[in-house]
Amino acid sequence: MTYAAITSVASWLPERRLTNADLERMVDTSDEWIRTRTGISERRVADDADATSDLAARAGALALERAGVAPGDVDMLIVATSTPDMAFPSTACLAQAKMGLTCPAFDINAACTGFIYALELAASMIEANRLTTVLVIGAEVLTRLLDFTDRTTCVLFGDGAGAVVVQASDEAGVLSVHLGADGGGADLLTVPGGGSALPMTAELLSQGTQYIHMNGNEVYKFAVRAIPRVTKQALAESGLSLADVDWLVPHQANERITLTVGERLGISHDRVVNAIAMTGNTSTASIPLALDDLQRSGKLHAGDVLALVGFGAGLTYGAAIVRWTLKEA
């Protein structure tokens, strides 16, 4: 049996910081409100000259270097993003050229669950012996889709990229993945304008349809129900139980969501990875960013079991149960 295992993780963040104090000067908000309601202190903002593919290529190149994989040895590149450079070509093709890869490359859009969807694709193709090495990247420049006069959304999101190399292995790394989608909740989190449904016009621009629109309360309720459920489904499929989970690595959308789902699953706070404070919500990048933080903290050990769990627009959700096979650096 060929297994799929994560053989490196990396992340890349822009240098420019947007603090809660900066936002206090832009909209009617406060550092206290943002920190207590979300756990966010600051987020990063991409340079004007950079697009999502630039962030993706930097995180991807670092992940390849850490895995010791040459660009010519990558069999496939999957970029999960909610903020592609443009409708087409795919962000993956643009990042592929920037990294000097020659493999097939494509994007997937499952919003903030995109990284988990991409990991499932990568692991499945490896387990089917179709591919040996897949580079999976989650990358976003979400600040370009924010209305900086709307305090209900502009304080939440940030830019960044995270990547993993997934490779064929004798050791079981990706143990199970459970994915889900409920299009009935599609209207809860959208960027309505600019696609085929509402091609951009001056009027739509003046209405702000190019920006993120979110029913935060409903997405919150969905998240705290969906994360525990899908985590348990994925665990059951892996043959493990909650007691086996060493680390819960949820999509970083709100620290209150992260802590609530940890409590509902009976996983203690020190085993729930919280990485939102300095990045905000980075959508598809948030899980690999949090994983890279955990790895660099030195707390993650070979043999540890991780539950990586995403949720987001679509509505989509998904959980991957992963046994960490990398030795400490």
Q: Which residues are catalytic?
A: 112, 251, 281
Q: Binding residue for ligand UT7 (CB under 6 A) from 81, 91, 281, 284?
A: 281
Shortest CA distance to 155 belongs to which of 17, 281, 250? 281
Q: Binding residue for ligand UT7 (CB under 6 A) from 216, 232, 240, 278?
A: 216
**Does the bond joining 315 to the residue before it have cis omega, within 30 degrees of 0?**
yes
Write the binding mask 52 to 91 for ligand UT7: x where contact by CB under 6 A, - elsewhere.
Answer: ----------------------------------------
Q: Binding residue for ligand UT7 (CB under 6 A) from 99, 219, 308, 322?
A: 219
CB 317 within 8 A of CB 227: yes
Nearest distance from residue 319's CB to ligand UT7, in Å?
15
Q: Binding residue for ligand UT7 (CB under 6 A) from 112, 121, 136, 141?
A: 112
| Residues numbered 231-270 forming contacts with ligand UT7, rule: CB under 6 A | 253-254, 257
CB 180 within 8 A of CB 316: yes
Phi/psi for 171 (5° steps) reads -95, 140
By the 10 Å C-beta count (0-12 exposed, 13-18 middle, 19+ buried), 220 is classed as middle
226 binds ligand UT7 (CB under 6 A): no
Can you tell me which residue has the tokens 């830019």?
A: 159
223 binds ligand UT7 (CB under 6 A): yes
Q: How far is CA 276 from the centre of its chain?
A: 12
Cα angle 242, 246, 251 (rounded to 5 degrees) comes to 85
217 binds ligand UT7 (CB under 6 A): yes
Report the interface residues with ligand UT7, using CB under 6 A.
Answer: 29, 33-34, 37-38, 112, 151-152, 155, 189, 216-217, 219-220, 223, 253-254, 257, 281, 283, 312
